[in-house]
Amino acid sequence: MSPLRMIYLALAVWGAIHPMYWFVSYMRETGTGLSGLIDAWYVNASTTGLTWDLTIAAIALTVWILAEVWARRNWTALIAIPATFCIGVSCGLPLYLFLRTRQPA
């Protein structure tokens, strides 16, 4: 595995663990669960703007993944779409780059 692929993989793992730590910490601290976390994303203009920024980035990444998967026939890379929406762009983007740069079998 190339050093660049190792970096992509490390960023995908970090992008999954680090944000999730803060999400779980918030839910434990407030006792509100996932619905409380989602409500907090829209508590003021700043967090709403950031939420929309990440949502638009996730949609753009999904369009790119679909276009590239269709052209390259790299069906495994589709796993980056649920990773993007269930975990976050911080995991989905480096995961897709990791999967995109693998050597063909």
pTM equals 0.89
Distance CA 34, CA 69 (A): 32
Nearest in space to 77 (alpha carbons), one of 61, 59, 95, 91: 95
**Taking the C-alpha atoms of 72, 75, 76 and 82 in order, what is their torsion angle to the nearest 10 degrees?**
110
Q: Which amino acid is at 99?
A: L
SS3 category, 30: helix
What are the φ/ψ torsions at residue 104 (nearest 5 degrees)? -65, 145
Reported as a single tens digit per residue, the pLDDT across 55-88 is 999 999 999 999 999 999 999 999 999 999 999 9
Q: Where are the domains of the chain?
A: 3-100
